[in-house]
Amino acid sequence: MPVEEKQSVLFPAIKTGRGFQILGPYSISYSSLTNLLIFVRASARRPLTAKDLATVFGPNCSIARQAVSELYSAAMRAQRRQTPSRIKTFFLEWDRIFGVVYGQELEKAEKTAEETAKVYQLPAGSRLKQLLFAIHTYYAFLMKLIAYELVALQREQTVESFVKGIAPLDDKKLFDELSHLESGLDFVNQGIENFLEADFFSWYLDAWTSQLANVFRSIVRAFSDFEPATPILEPEWTRDLL
């Protein structure tokens, strides 16, 4: 790049965008070949960016609406039962903690409950707290998938990609895989402690039905189209990922 007037840096950093770029040459090594294969794989996948995730998993998308609808229905069924359940316990604990976080804002949110329900194509009269619980559960699961795939990318890791080969499993095997994910054991084995400790959002396993299985199968299948190595390949694109 030629030196321009008032330029104080001899070799200024050039911001690159998407498209064809020339990198290298690099010496042939295990690391360079691994990076090459990752780039080839990434070319056929969606980048793992906030914008691209929103186009697939945002509130106006069918996956989000189906997931929130089924989770809300499951939460409401548990609330209507007279007998105690883990789902009720998780919900009450969530309500206790996040009720304090929201404070008086929750009262204002009650007034917009119908608008929130409308976004997810739920009927008018939906209960706000149970709806927020369902929405929170849905997005918490997405965060777990992202975290798991990023851990699986690390060198010398013993964790394999979670989404690979999960979608075709039957309901029982899918339940077992999700139970393992929610246990947090793989994170602990990688030295990441307390990531899923006291997690309220694994309650859906206690409400497991074929409808919920289809919901989580759809989420995993859609997420498998994303390239988890995007934060490594293009860090600039993923600064606002979470």
Domain ranges of the chain: 51-228
pLDDT recorded at residue 10: 46
pLDDT recorded at residue 207: 96
pLDDT recorded at residue 128: 87
CB 90 within 8 A of CB 200: yes
Rounded to whole angstroms, the Cα distance separating 85 from 102 reads 25
pLDDT recorded at residue 199: 77
Question: What beta strand segments (E) does the chain contain?
Answer: 46-47, 226-227
Residues 218-241 have pLDDT tens digits of 999 999 888 776 655 555 544 555
Q: Which residues contact 99 (CB under 8 A, 6 or more apart)?
A: 106
Rounded to whole angstroms, the Cα distance separating 68 from 139 reads 10
Minimal CA–CA distance to 141: which of 225, 223, 49, 72? 223
* Three-state secondary-structure class, residue 34: helix
Residues 76-88 have pLDDT tens digits of 999 999 888 999 9
Residues linked to residue 227 through DSSP beta bridges, in sequence order = 47
**Does the model's pTM come out above 0.75?**
yes
pLDDT recorded at residue 209: 97
Q: Supply the Cα-derived Rg of the chain in whole angstroms.
A: 22
- State which residues of the chain have pLDDT below 50: 1, 3, 9-13, 237-238
pLDDT recorded at residue 160: 72
pLDDT recorded at residue 105: 67
The mean pLDDT value of the chain amounts to 79
CB 160 within 8 A of CB 151: no
Minimal CA–CA distance to 224: which of 50, 58, 70, 41? 41
